[in-house]
Amino acid sequence: MDRHFEDTEQAQDAPADAQKLACDRCRQRKTRCSRGLPCAQCTRVKASCSYEQGQKIKPKRQRVRVSDNLETNISHIMARLDDLTEIVTETRSQMDQILKTSQKSTPNIGCPSTNTSPNAASAPHLGAEESLDPLGDSPKTEYEGESSLFGHAQFAATFLQNAIGGNSASEVRGEMTLVLETLHDIVKSQKQKSDSLGSVFPHARLLPYSSDLRDLPFPPMEKIFGCLRMAQEDRFVLGMWIYEFQNLDQFTHYLIRMCSPGPPTELEQIIVFAGLFWLFCECSSLVEDVNVKKDYEEQAFLCRDNLETVLLNIRFHVGSNMDLVYAMSMAATYCLQISKISMAWMFICTAVHSAQTLGYHSAVPLQPESNEKKSQTTWLFWAIYSTERLLALRIGRSSNVRDQDITIPPVQASNSCDTYLRAVFPTWIKIAQIQGSLYDDLYSPGSLSKSEHSRVSRAYELAAEIKKIMDIETEVQRRFIEAWGQNQPRGPNSLIWKIDRVINLSTLTLVYRSIKPNAPGRSISDECLEVARAAMSELSTTLVLFSREAKNSIGASLHVNWSLVQAPFVPFTTLFCHVIETSEASDLEYLRDCIDSIQSMVACVVDAAPKNYLRLFRALYDAAVRYLDARSKSDQTSGQTTLSSPWASENPMNATEATQGSGIVPFTLPQFPQPDSGDYHQAPSSIVPTSTLESQEQLSLGLFGAGVDPQSSNLGSWYYNHHQLMRMLDDM
């Protein structure tokens, strides 16, 4: 009030030529100006007094108008949006078609379909401009990779075909022609069904328009906390849960990050959804209440669908960090459990590359880290090391991890009996090291160029190491049984060590398979046959116990798939080829028991992988039985009492090799000899295409080199065909 009065009074006392604005000096110093010329302040300090000349020119305001250029831009944007909407609509319709195709029931293998019309339904690939005809002869797309069981079946069929072609009795060839054609039709039909992209992750959700992975449903937190509490109180839940994590706290850390404010990353979603899927599976197999069991299984299926959705849409242009290593390793483990070998190999290769980039394999860290962090990264590296070595041997490739580059010490065995995983994990690492050496020293093209004596010596060394590991696992099992007392493991966890034994026996069979037999005219040694029989017997017993312990358990289904992926192929085909080679029916009992045990599991698990294995093994078994019956009738008719080698009459050179004991199935498929009757000469072309013969002849010459001896070449051919034969069921 007083200040306003003083300003008014000063304005009245101001001279007539007073300026409207304060002088420049007073405005800069923010002091009161008398607005004279000069002003009182400038006069007192004897400073120059100046005023701004004229007023500031205000910019002229323009009226906002929608110009023709702006209207053109809006029209262009609207047209692009219309095109984008049309593309999204077309993509959604294609995804609907893929999901419908993947959910259709598979045809009966006993009556293979002969419909090869070009108008057959095709399953288009996501993001591709052209669709792939699943019934055509186009090559497999990249995601199929090295699928092994197809090659396994191809090798067995080739072995049987060689036996038929080498038999002098036309009755045997005539009766087995239809069997061979049926077997090849089964192989071809199984290969066709693996050409659909929807079969890779059939449970992936179809995301609606304008939504992303952040909108995926999440299980109720009270149910998650209930399972986490069960995992803390029941050691059997953690026994075989997530072997990438050392303890439950490491997984809980990612769960908290997932539930925190803000959008989760794709890697966090993979880790959490995979962990919750396995957690609900383990808890559902241990609870006794039917309603709670059903509820846990529903939550497990929810997490499984979310996991496959994220895996189907994940971007691989992600920087290397611990989250990426965890996510890719867990994705590979999940794909192994659902028998998607090619996808598992792709994920584990990414995990290995990221782990090596971060220096997890080196004893000298790239940056200072705590002892707890170093222990965590060491455990994680050895986990992906074990999975990668398993898959590398499974598909017949060299490992991406070289033992010479690893400087960190292996994980040491735990003396406590808290979880079976911590006690047996060091033996898994040793088995993984042996699996890498097995390929490098016995079956790689470079090893086949070495002398037979060096390979045999190395094979016996690896066999001794495997037997030593099996003794260690037996001692660990005995110690755990004594420590647990009456509180023995329940559900699928009770048979984990049996699966380990089956896998070890299968690996030992592959080692002995590389040793040349002493008996002339034989391709398989007695040691190999003995171990193969033990592996098949142990597998049959384990699967029967699984069917009793875990009926309708999704956790049991995962463990069964894990064992079927690794175990039965080598022993089964070894005994199959021995039956065809010697016409001894005693080993058919092991094959039949294996088929019966898988049949018992088919009724107890919800996964389709055991059914696929059952179809193939049953077809091979039926072919072997039919061959022995035809061979027996032929021998009775001709009065023969002795059985010759299947390759004895192929040509003089092969016959000589067979009598020397190197009669492993040749790499090149032989043409059938012309029988006396003239109605059979078309059979070879209907069974083995000419392109197959030409490609295998080229591979036989160029794969192993000219300096490889016949025994090594035959061994390499067997190993190559063996892994080509397993391509049938991996990605179905």
Determine the pLDDT at residue 330.
94
Determine the pLDDT at residue 223.
93
The CA distance from 156 to 34, in Å, is: 111
732 with 339: CB under 8 angstroms?
yes
Residue with tokens 């735990």: 414
112 with 189: CB under 8 angstroms?
yes
More confident residue, 724 or 485: 485
Express each pLDDT in 19-70 by its tens digit: 778 898 998 888 889 888 889 999 999 898 988 776 666 666 666 555 666 6
- Do β-strands 123-124 and 131-132 pair in parallel, antiparallel, or remain unpaired? antiparallel
Give the closest residue to 707 by CA, choosing from 446, 438, 516: 446
Q: Return the structure tokens found at 20.
A: 């409207």
Spell out the residues 6+ positions from residue 663 whose beta carbon is closer than 8 angstroms to its own: 521, 522, 523, 581, 645, 647, 654, 657, 714
Interval 176-201 mean pLDDT: 58
pLDDT at 146 over 60: no
Determine the pLDDT at residue 303.
95
Express each pLDDT in 147-178 by its tens digit: 344 544 555 666 666 665 555 445 545 555 55
Express each pLDDT in 429-462 by its tens digit: 999 999 999 888 888 888 878 888 888 999 999 9
Q: Return the structure tokens found at 453.
A: 């004596």
Strand partners, 724: 151
Percent of the chain with pLDDT over 90: 22
DSSP string, 150-174: HHHHHHHHHHHHHHHHT---HHHHH
Express each pLDDT in 252-280 by its tens digit: 999 999 988 888 899 999 999 999 999 99
The CA distance from 201 to 465, in Å, is: 38
467 with 538: CB under 8 angstroms?
no
Q: Name the least confident of 52-61, 286-295, 335-344, 649-658.
A: 649-658
A 10 A CB-CB count for 677 gives 10
Determine the pLDDT at residue 18.
66
pLDDT at 289 over 60: yes
Determine the pLDDT at residue 684.
32
Determine the pLDDT at residue 360.
93
Count how many residues are written for the chain: 732
623 with 183: CB under 8 angstroms?
yes
Sign of CA dihedral 63, 68, 73, 79: positive
* Radius of gyration, alpha carbons of the chain: 36
Express each pLDDT in 653-694 by its tens digit: 333 333 333 333 333 333 333 333 333 233 333 333 333 334
More confident residue, 677 or 564: 564
The CA distance from 493 to 549, in Å, is: 10
Express each pLDDT in 98-144 by its tens digit: 655 544 433 333 333 333 333 333 333 333 333 333 333 434 433 33
Quickly list H helices, 550-587.
554-566, 569-582
